[in-house]
Amino acid sequence: MMLAGKTALITGSTSGIGLGIAQALAAQGTNIVLNGLGDAKEIEALRLQIEATHKIKALYHGADMTKPEQIRDMCKKSVALFGAVDILVNNAGIQFVSPIDEFPEEKWDAIIAINMTSAFHTTKACLPEMKQKGWGRVINIASAHGLVASPYKSAYIAAKHGVVGMTKTVALETATDNITCNAICPGYVNTPLVQNQIRDQAKHHGISEAEVVEKIMMQPQPTKKFVEIEQLGALAVFLCSDAASNITGTALPVDGGWTAR
């Protein structure tokens, strides 16, 4: 229970990586603020499950990450309830794949807003209490695509490179406040976001989903294995530990060797 009594807000934590990180932090005793889209009953069941399993308090706020007002309201309510957001995990994200000359403007705007700008709004809103308490952790879930590019993902790659840049800046601005800010850069993780891509690619290429995974998706990932959600949860917990207090401003690849090429 290394983080007992602290509070973590994880954006996009109703599914996938965000939910895994929420579970891993809750297991260390942090109170949790869940956020994300989904069925209200299922989200309430998830909130109750996290509270019961880990004996902590969990709040859900449905702020839409494209809406700055709602993001600010989520941070304000979290601080009002728990006193501070000690650990902020900027994780919410979406994907859209298309050549840039056909890329729909509204998809570009949504990806930049959800995958990058929302992290500006949450960080701006949560840093004052972290500074006041003299402890804080900001963890941005970027991507291997925050470090290198692939075709047809211009908005996603622009947003993720932006997140890596913002991570470095926040780290420098908070370096003497006992606050760290790091980006985690996963390769492919088998979540709904990637399952949608597998389905689309199988249709597009007229091959099976298993072939998409083997021949296309795992092609840049030398280990040929999906990154596990639990591995990302464990890294997030480590970044919150005292042992990691001098790790700041980094973009940590968890990508099976993708960016080593």
Output the smallest distance, CB 109 to ligand NAD, in A.
12
Nearer residue to ligand NAD within complex by CB, 20 or 136: 20
Asked if 193 is part of the footprint of ligand NAD (rule: CB under 6 A), the reply reads yes
Nearer residue to ligand NAD within complex by CB, 36 or 136: 36
Reported in sequence order, the residue ranges of the chain that DSSP labels E, i.e. its strands, are 7-10, 31-35, 58-61, 87-90, 136-141, 179-186, 251-254
Asked if 114 is part of the footprint of ligand NAD (rule: CB under 6 A), the reply reads yes
Output the smallest distance, CB 254 to ligand NAD, in A.
9
Quote the CA–CA distance of 169 and 78 in Å, as a whole number.
24
116-145 positions binding ligand NAD, by CB under 6 A: 141, 143
Q: Is 156 a catalytic residue?
A: yes
Q: What is the 3-state secondary structure (H, E, C) of 29-66?
A: CCEEEEECCCCHHHHHHHHHHHHHHHCCCEEEECCCCC
47-66 positions binding ligand NAD, by CB under 6 A: 64-66
Nearer residue to ligand NAD within complex by CB, 91 or 201: 91
Cα–Cα distances (Å) from 9 to 88, 146, 150, 216, 239, in that order, read 5, 22, 30, 34, 15
Q: Are 170 and 123 in contact (CB under 8 A)?
A: yes
Q: Which member of 3, 6, 12, 97 binds ligand NAD (CB under 6 A)? A: 12
Nearer residue to ligand NAD within complex by CB, 30 or 35: 35
Quote the CA–CA distance of 260 and 199 in Å, as a whole number.
28
Q: Which member of 6, 8, 9, 15 binds ligand NAD (CB under 6 A)? A: 15
Stated as kind and residue range, the H or E segment containing 123 is: helix 118-133
Number of residues located near ligand NAD, criterion CB under 6 A: 29
**Residue 196 DSSP label:** H
Look up residue 85 and give its two tokens.
């957001």
What is the β-pairing status of strands 87-90 and 58-61?
unpaired
Asked if 23 is part of the footprint of ligand NAD (rule: CB under 6 A), the reply reads no
Asked if 186 is part of the footprint of ligand NAD (rule: CB under 6 A), the reply reads yes
Q: Which residues bind ligand NAD (CB under 6 A)?
A: 12-18, 35-38, 64-66, 91-94, 114-115, 141, 143, 186, 188-189, 191-194
Residues taking part in catalysis? 156
